[in-house]
Amino acid sequence: MYLDIIWKALLGGLIIGIVSTVAQKNATFGAVIMGIPMVSFITLIIMYYTGVDYQTFKTFSYQTVYFVGLSLIFFPLFATGFLYFNFWIALIGSAGITSILFLILYRFIS
C-alpha cells in the first residue's frame, strides 16, 4: 500500500515538474501539456489495474467533466486578480472562489 502511494506521488511530482519547467521556457507549450488530461488518463489506468467497477468509472468520468469545467473559472480569476493584487492574494482568492463554487456543485450533484 505504501509503495503504491509513493509510486503515485512520484509520478504526479514528475508531471508537475515537467509542466512547470516547460512553462518557464514556453508558457504556451506548458499550458498545452497541462491542458491534456494526463492526470485523468493516469488515474483511469491505475483505477483499471486496481479492479474498479464500471459504475465507479462512469461516476468518475461524468463528475470529472463537471469539476473540470467549473475549475476553468480559476484561471481568468487568477490572471485578473494578479493584475490588481499580489501573487498570493490572487492565488488564494481565486482558489477560494473556485472552492466555494466546487462546494455548491458538489452539493447539487450529491
pTM of the model: 0.67
What interhelical angle do 54-71 and 87-109 show, nearest 10?
140
Q: What whole-number percentage of the chain has pLDDT above 90?
A: 43
Dump pLDDT digits (tens) for 41-57. Answer: 888 888 898 899 999 99
Per DSSP, the three-state class of 35 is helix
Yes or no: say if 57 and 44 are a contact pair by the CB < 8 Å rule.
Answer: yes
- Distance set, CA 50 to CA 44, 45, 55, 63 (Å): 10, 9, 14, 20
Per DSSP, the three-state class of 52 is coil
Per DSSP, the three-state class of 53 is coil
Dump pLDDT digits (tens) for 3-40. Answer: 888 888 888 888 889 888 999 999 888 887 777 677 77
